[in-house]
């Protein structure tokens, strides 16, 4: 079963939806315009039920097959939010909102799932129920967690859940997936370093926080190089170094470091958290200062279920003829919360050449729309075949 003809017919329409969302990006849970657009279209498609306000601004549509005798219920999820980036694409449908853009392709994900929902509501050629899930706040807000905590899985009796993400650099529409740990956890770290401020000409009268914090930044890299089993994975990144003084001639009283920790194994996650605190506090003490560490576990490791991954790969092959083994990804994905709640799988789909995600020149490739819509609809029709 190649790409469905219906999606070739709908391609221009779905592209218009996508570009409208691209021109009107919204951040985190503030997806009111996008959520309203999704709600309106799901109702127009004739979904059996459309529910808003799940996980604050999430939208869920329910589509029943010609029969529901199988009792099966499958969830399909797309994310809706954009990023706080100033767009530099020069497109005629570029962001109209200063400082915000769809730099990760969530506009494409939402448009493709809307296209799949329209097709499934038209045909209903399956035995069971499909729940289409439109999630806010994937980009750091934990919208997936919010929707799960809001009781979504139990409320709609979701038994399996599937997600999709575009992947720049891979050929357009080409799929890749892997079973087990796939995307890393993402923990947030803040380290407040305090010493004794003073005049830059008299460092001997101070406890220099910039020197202290600099040693902490370097020492934290020894966690991966000297504490971690080389066959495991961890990325510790200090991304912000902010002093309490901006003057040229002042040694600051305080320095605040911020960053992330990414791992693929809960045991490694525990070890890194422990060593990070020990290193920060110990290094500061050596210099006569104090380090206070705030460590927040944010997104968990995203783990694909074995059975559902094998099935998702076969569906991808039926759509485009191929599905590769994906590499591990040290980025995070809050679809992990849904996969912690139910078995399922997350797949990558090629976006072609061009800028990477989270780049101001990135743009979702509309040529990938038919393949993505076909994959989602085939997940339903092959998992719950009509009697």
129-135/58-64 β-pairing: antiparallel
204 is in an annotated binding site: no
Residue 373, annotated as binding a ligand? no
Give the end-to-end CA distance of the chain in Å, rounded to a whole number. 18
| Cα three-residue angle 277-281-284, rounded to 5 degrees | 145
Cβ pair 109, 14 in contact under 8 A? no
Element (H, E) at 51: strand 49-54
Residue 86 marked as a ligand binder: no
Residues in contact with 329: Cβ distance below 8 Å, sequence separation at least 6, in sequence order: 182, 183, 184
Q: Is 139 annotated as a binding residue?
A: yes
3-state secondary structure 301-335: CEEECHHHHHHHHHHHHHHHCCEEECCCECCCCCC
Parallel/antiparallel/unpaired status of strands 160-167 and 73-79: parallel
The structure tokens 């929902």 sit at: 117
Please report, for the chain, how many H helices and E strands are present, in that order: 11, 16
Question: In this structure, what token pair is assigned to residue 12?
Answer: 């221009």
323 annotated as a binding-site residue: no
Which residues, other chains included, contact 216 with Cβ-Cβ below 8 Å and sequence gap of 6+?
191, 193, 257, 279, 280, 283, 284, 291
Per the annotation, binding residues for Mn(2+) are: 104, 106, 139, 165, 358
Per the annotation, binding residues are: 104, 106, 139, 165, 358
């Amino acid at each position: 079963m190649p790409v469905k003809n219906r999606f070739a017919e709908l391609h221009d329409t779905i592209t218009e939806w996508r570009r409208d969302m691209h021109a009107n990006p919204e951040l985190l849970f503030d997806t009111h315009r996008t959520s309203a657009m999704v709600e309106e279209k799901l109702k127009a498609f004739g979904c059996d039920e459309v529910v808003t306000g799940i996980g604050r601004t999430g939208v869920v549509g329910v589509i029943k097959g010609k029969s529901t005798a199988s009792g099966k219920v499958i969830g399909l999820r797309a994310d809706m939010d954009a990023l706080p980036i100033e767009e530099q694409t020069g497109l005629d449908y570029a962001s109209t909102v200063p400082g915000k853009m769809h730099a990760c392709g969530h506009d494409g994900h939402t448009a493709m799932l809307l296209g799949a929902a329209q097709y499934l509501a038209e045909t209903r050629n399956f035995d069971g129920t499909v729940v289409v899930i439109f999630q806010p706040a994937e980009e750091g807000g934990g919208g997936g967690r919010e929707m799960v905590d809001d009781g979504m899985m139990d409320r709609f009796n979701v038994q399996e859940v599937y997600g999709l993400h575009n992947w720049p650099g891979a050929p357009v529409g080409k799929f890749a997936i892997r079973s087990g740990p796939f995307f890393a956890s993402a923990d947030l770290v803040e380290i407040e370093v305090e010493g004794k401020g003073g005049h830059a000409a008299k460092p001997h009268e101070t406890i220099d926080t910039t020197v202290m914090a600099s040693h902490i930044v370097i020492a934290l890299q020894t966690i991966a190089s000297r504490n971690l089993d080389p066959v495991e994975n961890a990325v510790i990144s200090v991304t912000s170094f902010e002093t309490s003084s901006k003057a040229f001639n002042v040694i600051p009283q305080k320095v605040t470091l911020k960053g992330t920790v990414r791992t693929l194994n809960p045991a490694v996650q525990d070890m890194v958290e422990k060593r990070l605190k020990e290193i920060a506090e110990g290094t500061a003490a050596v210099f006569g200062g104090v380090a206070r560490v705030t460590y927040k576990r944010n997104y968990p490791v995203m783990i694909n279920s074995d059975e559902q991954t094998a099935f998702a790969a076969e569906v991808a092959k039926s759509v485009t003829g191929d599905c590769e083994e994906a590499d591990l990804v040290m980025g995070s994905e809050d679809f992990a919360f849904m996969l912690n709640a139910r078995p399922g799988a997350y797949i990558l789909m090629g976006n072609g050449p061009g800028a990477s995600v989270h780049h101001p020149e990135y743009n979702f490739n509309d040529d990938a729309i038919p393949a993505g819509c076909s994959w989602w609809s085939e997940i339903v029709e092959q998992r719950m075949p009509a009697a």
